[in-house]
Structure 1
Amino acid sequence: MKKYLTILLCFGFIISINAQREIKSEEGFTPQIGVIVSMLNDMKNRVENTVKNLDIESTDFLLDENANSIGTLVLHLAATEKFYQVYTFENREFNKEEQEEWGMRMSMGNEAREMHKGKPISYYLNIYDEVRQKTLEYLKGKDDVWLAQTPEGYRMNNHWSWYHVMEHQSSHLGQILLLKKRIP
C-alpha cells in the first residue's frame, strides 16, 4: 500500500507526493504546464524552507569578498524568473525601466552586495513571492502548445526556458545551503 503525503503550498495549491516523490500536474493548468508549476513550487519551497528563519546578520553573511549574500541570491532568483516572464510571455527582454529595477539583481556583484543588506529575509522572500504569483497568473493563461513553441528569433522553446528557471533555482539553492553551513 502506497502512502501519500499532502503538502499545502504557500500559494494555496496542493500537491500530492507518494513515497517515491512522484511529480503530479497541478490542477488548474494544462498537463505539462501543471508539471512545470509543481516543480517550480517545490523548488521555491526548498529555498524558502532553507532561509525562512535567518536573522539579518545571517541573511547578509558573505563567505568572502567575492561572494554574494543569501539575500542577494534570493533576489537573483526572483530577478531571473522576472526576466523569463518577459522573455517567454512577452517575447522580449527587459526594457530600460525593468533593467534599472532588475538588472543589478540579475548580475549581482559589488554593487548588489552593497545595496542589498540590512533587510530581513522576509523582504527578499516577499519579492520572490510577488514574482512567482505573476508567473502563475501568466501560466494559467497558457497551454501545452505554447509551452512547446520557440518564439521567432529565439534560441529556446518556452518549455526549456522554464526548465532553465527551475534548474537555475536548484543551482543557487546549493550555494545558499553552502553559505548557510558557513555562517559563524
Structure 2
Amino acid sequence: MYEWNKLLLVGEQDGVKGDFNTLISMMNYVRYTTLEAIKDISVEELDYLHTPTGNTIGMLLTHMAGVEYWYQLNTFENRDLNLEEEVKWLPGLDLDDHARKTIKGNDADYYINLLNSVREETYAKFNSLSDEWLYEQTEFGRAKATNYFKWFHVFEDEINHRGQIRMIRKLYKNA
C-alpha cells in the first residue's frame, strides 16, 4: 500500500491534486509507522490491559479509525454522529470501561481493515474537494479552525496513540 521510496517525500503524490499532496504525504507516513508498530502482533497482545483503567492496543486502533470517521462527518458533512454511528464508534472514541469490555478478540487484520476502510473514504472525498476547502474556517471548540488543521489533528492524534501502542507492546513483553 505504501511505497517506501516515496514515503519520506512530502509533496506530490500520484493522483492527488494541489495542497492535498502535503496532507496526504504526512497521513501516509503516519499510517505506515502505525502499521509497522503492530506488525506480527497477536490477539492476546492486542487485548493486553496493563492497568484496569488503561487502553488496549485494539482500543487505540479502533479509536484512530473512529477519530478519522468523526472528522469525516465534521468536515465533509458538517454534522456529528447519528444514533446508529454512536453505537458503532463511541466505544472507540470514548476509550472507557464499555470499550474495555467490548473491543477485544479481534486479530490485527480486523483493525487494519477498519483503518483502511475509513482511510479509503477519506481519500476518496479529498479527491473531490478543492484546495480552498482545506482553508475554510469553522467554529471548533473555543476558536476557529481550518479543515487543514482538523485533518492535521487526525494524524497528530494517531501519532500520540502510536506512541502508546509502542509502550504497551514493551509492557506486554515484560509482563
Structures share fold, TM-score greater than 0.5:
yes
Matched, 1:178 2:174: no
Q: What letter is aligned with 2:145?
A: M
Which residue of the partner structure matches residue 16 of structure 2? 29
In the alignment, the residues of structure 1 paired with residue 86 and residue 51 of structure 2 have an alpha-carbon distance, to the nearest angstrom, of 27
Contact 1:80 1:106 in 2 (8 A): yes
Residues 141-175 of structure 1: CA deviation (Å, up to 9, x unaligned): 11211100014x44311001001001001110110
Q: What letter is aligned with 1:175?
A: Q
Matched, 1:92 2:82: no
Residues 90-125 of structure 1: CA deviation (Å, up to 9, x unaligned): 111112221121111101111111111111111111
The size of the alignment, in residue pairs, is: 170
Alignment of 1:3-14 (within 5 A): 9=2
Matched, 1:116 2:89: no
Contact 1:23 1:39 in 2 (8 A): yes
Shift in Å, 1:14 = 7.7
Q: What letter is aligned with 2:76?
A: F
Residues 5-54 of structure 1: CA deviation (Å, up to 9, x unaligned): xxx51xxx78625xxx4412323222211111111111111111110310
Which residue of the partner structure matches residue 70 of structure 1? 57
Task: Name the Cα RMSD after superposition.
Answer: 1.6
Q: Which runs of 5+ in 2 are unaligned?
A: none
Which residue of the partner structure matches residue 3 of structure 1? none
Q: What letter is aligned with 1:170?
A: I
In the alignment, the residues of structure 2 paired with residue 24 and residue 128 of structure 1 have an alpha-carbon distance, to the nearest angstrom, of 23
Q: Which runs of 5+ in 1 are unaligned?
A: 1-7
Matched, 1:143 2:133: no
Tell me the TM-score normalised to structure 2 length.
Answer: 0.90
Alignment of 1:37-76 (within 5 A): 37-76=24-63
Match of 1:16 among 6, 13, 16: 6
Higher relative contact order (CA 8 A, sep 6+): 2
Tell me the TM-score normalised to structure 1 length.
Answer: 0.86
Contact 2:65 2:114 in 1 (8 A): yes
In the alignment, the residues of structure 2 paired with residue 32 and residue 172 of structure 1 have an alpha-carbon distance, to the nearest angstrom, of 26
In the alignment, the residues of structure 2 paired with residue 91 and residue 61 of structure 1 have an alpha-carbon distance, to the nearest angstrom, of 36
